[in-house]
Amino acid sequence: MKEAKTSVFIGMQVMNLLLLLTVLLPNVSTNFYLSDWMYVVLIVLMLVNGSLYLWVRSKLEKIEADRNLKEVMRIIEESI
């Protein structure tokens, strides 16, 4: 489960980095500048990406907690 959390975290960070590069690279390399609404869209995408990461992480933690609970219940049943 820890590997799944790590891969989700890395994937989300790569997505944020790509969004950030989308904003920064055109301004550095050329005279092309993004319009104001494009910046707003990119910021909203980054916020959605962050909230999606938190949602996926909470779901993974819930799955892990359910597995731990099942294991505890199995041990209790065996000991009775």
pLDDT tens, N- to C-terminus, the chain (80 residues): 667 667 777 877 787 787 777 777 666 555 566 677 777 777 788 788 878 888 888 888 888 888 888 888 888 888 87
Instruction: Count Cα neighbours of 42 within 13 Å in the Cβ-side half-sphere.
Output: 16
Task: Output the pLDDT for position 33.
Answer: 66
> What pLDDT is recorded for position 15?
78
Overall size of the chain counted in residues: 80
Residues 6+ apart with CB under 8 A from 48: none
pLDDT of residue 17: 80
Q: Which of 1, 3, 2, 10 is nearest to 53 (CA)?
A: 10
What is the full DSSP assignment across 37-62?
A: HHHHHHHHHHHHHHHHHHHHHHHHHH
